[in-house]
Structure 1
Amino acid sequence: MIERLHTAEKMSKIVKHNGVAYLCGQVGEGDTVTAQTIEMLSRVDALLAEAGSSRKQILQAIIWLADINDVAEMNAVWNAWMPKGFAPARACGEAKLGRPELKVEVIITAAYED
């Protein structure tokens, strides 16, 4: 069974199937990469909790930065947020994001328990 949560015309915020939760891309508000990353990861926490998952169950993270030179700043927040020993498979690259003010976006795939 596939379960879709917060479904709108173009996407669902969470799609759950066979013990895996797929989150739509998350961004944050703020003027800096640090501020946006903190808020973005807070939104990830809320969606993971709603899906019955947590940071420790993240399988994969795909992170997009508007400027790859901001990777160290983003990583400082990410590393403090991610529990030690639970790092997921991860990719990080540079991309033009959906709005000019956005500096970072993450796509999360995580396991959940029924």
Structure 2
Amino acid sequence: MTTITRHMKTRINHRIVEVDGMLHFGGLIADDLGLDMQGQTAQICAKIDALLAEVGSSKEKLVTAMLYITDFDQKEGMNAAWLDWLAADDLPTRATIGVANLGKDVLIEVVVSAVC
């Protein structure tokens, strides 16, 4: 039997949905939208760390990530923050998807899944 546990309800979703030991996160953006993509990515990574800790997991348990970005010219900055955050042996699968607009000054939104 499948067990679903929903964590951290917001107005439009739950921040994390746990299904049989797998954690699925809603999209995360930076708090300081004045930062460049590298800075926004670093803030999002810190948010992911905190959320993972709240549900008893860690970045070493990430399985997959989807990074939505508005400016491929800043992709190397995003990659730098990502690689500063994760050890080479702990990199999840990842897709980087270009989008036209994520909202005013939002350069990146990240969606991840991890195991408990």
Whether TM-score is above 0.5 comes out as yes
State the 4+ residue runs in structure 1 displaced beyond 3 angstroms: none
Query: Is 1:2–2:4 an aligned residue pair?
Result: yes
Structure 2 residues without counterparts, runs of 5 or longer? none
How many residue pairs get aligned? The number is 112
* Cα distance in structure 2, aligned partners of 1:97 and 1:43: 22
Whole-Å Cα distance in 2 between the matches of residues 73 and 98 of structure 1? 18
Q: How far apart are the structure 1 equivalents of 2:56 and 2:110?
A: 19
Is the CA contact (8 Å cut-off) linking 1:55 and 1:83 kept in structure 2?
no
Among candidates 46, 58, 62, match of residue 54 of structure 1: 58
Of 73, 76, 84, which residue of structure 1 is paired with 2:77?
73
In the other structure, the counterpart of 2:113 is 109
Aligned residue identity for 2:20: N
Percent same amino acid among aligned pairs?
Answer: 28
Unaligned regions of 5+ residues in structure 1, if any?
none
Match of 1:13 in 2: 15
The 8 Å contact of residues 16 and 51 in structure 1, kept in 2 or not, is answered as no
TM-score under structure 1 length normalisation: 0.92
The Cα of 1:32 is off from its aligned counterpart by 1.0
